[in-house]
Amino acid sequence: MNKQTRRLLLASLIIIFLLAAPAVLFYAWGYSFDWQNKKPVITGGIYLESIPKKAEIYLDGRLKNHTPRLLKRLVPKEYQIKLIKEGYYSWQKKLKVESQLVTEARNILLLPQAPEIELIDDNLTENFSLQSLFPKKEKEIFELQEPSYILYKSNPERTAQTQISVAPLPLNQTYQIIVSPNQNLAALSEQGKLYLFNPEKKIFEELAENIKGAQFSDDDKKILYFSQSEIWVAYLKDNLIQPYKKAGEKELITRLSQEIKQAIWYPKTNEHIILAVGQVIKIIELDNRDIRNITDFIETQASQIAYDAKTEKLYFVEGEKLYNVSLKE
């Protein structure tokens, strides 16, 4: 190779480097070119996680990968996301990507299209209660004392007692005391008024009225409560999973034309609610970005529902019959 050839080769390499270096740096710094708006932009991402795993991810109609997955280097804009898994109902939502941020959907629940329903008992007594199947071993008992209507806590032997509230609930009513796993407290009156206990002030504060039932989530961060036609959630602590919520927020989850018989948490995520309404058991997500995914899971005129975390099965009563069903295929 002569001297002139070497010089030409060196000059060519320098030119290639000068041309390629900006593009390499451009990519390394997280930039991409937005062809729609014809300008460079800093990209973001979307992280998707589902139960069950290995669902196909479609981004604006194009198959990208399977869950769980972080989709990187996305131009900031709204994307139509769809998750598909054979044998399960699909899930879809529009999610917005912003520069240098990752949009997350960590609690996507895919439900089986043909769940296996098992008959447990076909001769229930008239006053049968599902709660009798899952008795709780209470280490402490909470009860209102009459005529003061002050709440006290005692051990099962009732040999030791501690006063909890300092002000009475409204007198001459019957109350259901609702206790969370970490002893958050609520009281539901026979007139349908729901009171939430404020541990700092040591008083019950009215949360809602015309309420049929309420339940704390297993993660102790929220409480659901429902009326004849509405389901609400109140956040007791900051929710640090997207979409973020602040402690003290109250959110209407759904409003239906048919009577809601019962609503309970799905404890595996604490981000879904199982409800018996009309002739259907439905399951709805809390995630209110774009649309809430709600699935008609089983056709049944269930009068009672309960989820058992040990067996991971949903139990329901229809007439004189008791059934269970798995939320997995």
Enter the DSSP assignment of 221.
Answer: S
**Which of 286, 226, 292, 288 is closest to 259 using CA atoms?**
226
Phi-psi region of 220 (alpha: psi -120 to 50; beta: other; left: phi over 0): left
For CA atoms 46, 50, 53, 56, the dihedral sign is: negative
Distance CA 285, CA 270 (A): 9
Per the DSSP assignment, residues forming a β-bridge with 197 are 204
Q: Residue 174 corresponds to which tokens in the numbers above? A: 């019957």
Distance CA 274, CA 300 (A): 13
Return the number of other C-beta atoms located less than 10 Å from residue 25's C-beta. Answer: 10
Q: SS3 string of 115-175?
A: CCEEEEECCCCCCCCHHHHCCCCCCCEEEEECCCCEEEEECCCCCCEEECCCCCCCCCCCE
Cα separations (Å) of 29 from 26, 46, 73, 98?
6, 18, 11, 15
Distance CA 226, CA 207 (A): 12
Contact of 180 with 199, CB cutoff 8 Å: no
**How buried is residue 19: exposed, middle or buried, by Cβ count under 10 Å (0-12/13-18/19+)?**
exposed
Q: Residue 251 corresponds to which tokens in the numbers above? A: 């959110």
pLDDT in tens, the chain (329 residues): 565 655 555 555 555 544 544 544 444 444 454 445 545 567 899 999 999 999 999 999 999 999 999 999 999 999 999 999 999 999 999 999 998 899 999 999 999 999 999 999 999 998 999 988 887 777 789 999 989 999 999 988 777 889 999 999 999 999 999 999 889 999 999 999 999 999 999 999 999 999 999 999 999 999 999 999 999 999 999 999 999 999 999 999 999 999 999 999 999 999 999 999 999 999 999 999 999 999 999 999 999 999 999 999 999 999 999 999 999 86
Whether the bond into 168 is cis, omega within 30 of 0: no
**How buried is residue 194: exposed, middle or buried, by Cβ count under 10 Å (0-12/13-18/19+)?**
buried
Cα separations (Å) of 127 from 130, 191, 276, 317, 319?
10, 22, 19, 12, 11
